[in-house]
Amino acid sequence: MPESITHDSLLYAVYFAPRGKKRLLNLGHQIGQRYLDPMDKLIGVIGGAGSGKSLLINGMFPGLELTNDDAGINIRPLPLLAHAEDGEFISHTYHVDIRFEMAFTPVYQLADAVKEAVSHGRRVVIEHFELIYPLLQINAEVLIGLGEEVILTRPNIFGPLPEEISKIVFKSLNYRRMAHTAEDLTEMVIRKELGFSGILQHDDVKHGFVMEFLEKPGFDPAWIEQRVADYIQQDLDIQYGDEGHISIGAISIPCTGPRIHVRNTGEVKNFQLIKEFKYEPISKLYLLVGLVGADRPVNLADLNDLSL
C-alpha cells in the first residue's frame, strides 16, 4: 500500500494576506484545517503591528482566549506564567504575545514557561516568535509569517529559522498597507464622487488589489487614477475609526481592515490603475486592477510573477 502524503511533506504554503476581518478569519480556519496536527505543541506567528496576526490565530483556534491588548484584553496574571509557576497546566492551548509581554516579564522567564508547557504536552501559540527564539532555541513546529503574503512552513532542523521569515514579511508588509490604502481611496472615489455602487467584491494581486464587477463599468480608469493621485498628494492623515471604519482626512469611510493602512496618503508610492478592465471568462467578471510600489510598465500576464 503506497505511503500517504501528509502535511509532513510541506515545505512552504503561500497565500495572499487578506485585508478584511472576515477573510483573515476564514484563511486562519483553512490553515488550521489543512496544516495543523492535533499533536503540534509550538506554533510561531511573525508579523508587524496591524498585520492581522491575532485575527489569523482566532481563525485557526476558535475559542482561544488571546492575552494581548488588541481588543482591550489584558489578562493578568498571564495564564501561561501562572500555570508554569504552579506546575499545573490546566489548559490545552496557551497564547502569548511576546512583544506585549516584554513590558511586564523578562523574555528568559517567558521562554522558560513555554518550555515547561511544551514538556507537559501543552500547545503554545506565540506571536512575535522571532523575539523569543534566541532564548528558546526551539523552532516552532508550524511557523507562520504575515506580510503582503501569508507564508506557512513546517521547519525541520535545517530551517527555515524565524529570522528568515521575519526578513521577508517585515519587508513586504508595507506593500500590503499601501495597497489597502490605495484600494480604499479608489473605492471612495468610485462610490462617493461617481455614485457608482456596482463593486461586487475585492480580490488580491501582488503589490496591489482587484475590484470585481458583474458588468463592465462606464467610467474611465484614468480619471479614477488621477482623482486618487490627488488625494495621495494631499498627505491626508489616515485614522482608525472603529472595526468597520477609517477616516481619510475629514472623510469617514467603511473599511473591513481598519488597522492595515499607511499613516497618511502620501506614503502610497507609485500608484497606478491598469487602464483597461480585464475580463475573466470563467467567472464572467470585469476586473479593475490597482498597483502600488512599482514604477514600471505592467504586463497583465506578469502581475503575480514571483521574480518581480
Per-residue pLDDT reduced to its tens digit, 59-100? 999 989 888 765 555 677 899 999 999 889 999 999 999 999
- Helices (runs of H) and strands (runs of E) counted in the chain: 8, 14
Cβ proximity of 179 and 261 under 8 Å: no
20: which residues sit within 8 A by CB, 6+ positions away? 202, 256, 257
How is residue 211 written as a grid cell?
A: 475590484
pTM: 0.85
Residue 18 has pLDDT above 90, yes or no: no
> Could you tell me the fold of the domain covering 7-160?
Rossmann fold (3.40.50)
* 3-state secondary structure at position 66: coil
> How far, in whole angstroms, is CA 173 from its chain's centroid?
8
User: Average per-residue pLDDT in the chain?
Assistant: 90
| DSSP secondary structure letters along 67-105 | -SSTTS---SS-HHHHHHHHT----SEEEEEHHHHTTTS
Residue 308 has pLDDT above 70, yes or no: no
Q: H or E stretch including 54? A: helix 53-60
DSSP code of 167? H
Where do the domains of the chain lie? 7-160, 176-302
Please tell me the distance from the alpha carbon of residue 156 to that of residue 254, in angstroms, as a whole number: 43
Q: What is the mean pLDDT of residues 205-216?
A: 93
10: which residues sit within 8 A by CB, 6+ positions away? 35, 152, 153, 154
What is the model's pLDDT at position 12?
A: 85
At position 32, the amino acid (one-letter code) is: G
How is residue 219 written as a grid cell?
A: 467610467
Tell me which CATH code domain 176-302 carries. 3.30.980.10
Residue 301 has pLDDT above 70, yes or no: no
134 band by pLDDT with thresholds 50, 70 and 90 = very high
